[in-house]
Amino acid sequence: MSSGHSTADIQSHIKVYMTVFAALAALTIITVAASYLDLSTGEGILLALTIASVKGSLVASYFMHLISERALITWILMLTAGFFFVLMFIPMASFIDQAQVG
């Protein structure tokens, strides 16, 4: 092959992608099964967000190749996630404050 990739390297990448695909499929089945559980709203949201976070991490790590990126990219991604959670907390804090007053 002229691109410098051996057949063994390509097979190794295919195996990783197929494993991640199987994990994503299993997590999708777990998500559907979890929807039938009798959970409170808070527990259901926590479970759904946990499963979604694992699935998102798999997609970002392997399909977006972030697992092999430099540390700077990873830190920027974590900083972005941190800002997202802060921006989500601000309206929630305002809502909780108004709920306590009223």
pLDDT tens string 28-77: 999 999 999 999 988 888 999 999 999 999 998 888 887 877 788 878 88
pLDDT at 38: 94
CA distance 60 to 92: 27
Full-model pTM: 0.66
